[in-house]
Amino acid sequence: MTDSGGTVRIRRSESGHGWEARWERGDVGSSFRDREKDAVLRWAASRPADYWLTHDPDADEWIPWTPPSER
């Protein structure tokens, strides 16, 4: 792993009415929001990241997530 692809963080939106993901690499980034979690996960999986993390609101921790493999 080269650690050059950045990090994607996935969580419930602050409003609680959907999901959001943010991809960051240094000072570059982008984000995506949708009511459907699957849409956000598809977007997150398509980012060129080294790390994907999901937020566990109960523990207030970021947990590693592995995007599904393309077939």
Tens digit of pLDDT for each residue in 8-55?
A: 999 998 888 899 999 999 889 999 999 999 999 999 999 989 999 999
The per-residue pLDDT for 52 is 96
Sheet holding 19-25, edge to edge: 28-34, 19-25, 7-12, 51-56, 61-64
When pLDDT is cut at 50, 70 and 90, the band that residue 70 belongs to is: low
Q: How many CB atoms lie within 10 A of CB 32?
A: 18
The per-residue pLDDT for 16 is 81
- CA-CA-CA-CA torsion for 9, 4, 38, 22, nearest 10 degrees? 40
- Give 16's Cβ-side CA count (13 Å radius): 1
In angstroms, the CA 30 to CA 22 distance is 6
The per-residue pLDDT for 3 is 61
The per-residue pLDDT for 1 is 44
Q: Report the predicted TM-score, pTM, of the whole model to 2 decimal places.
A: 0.84
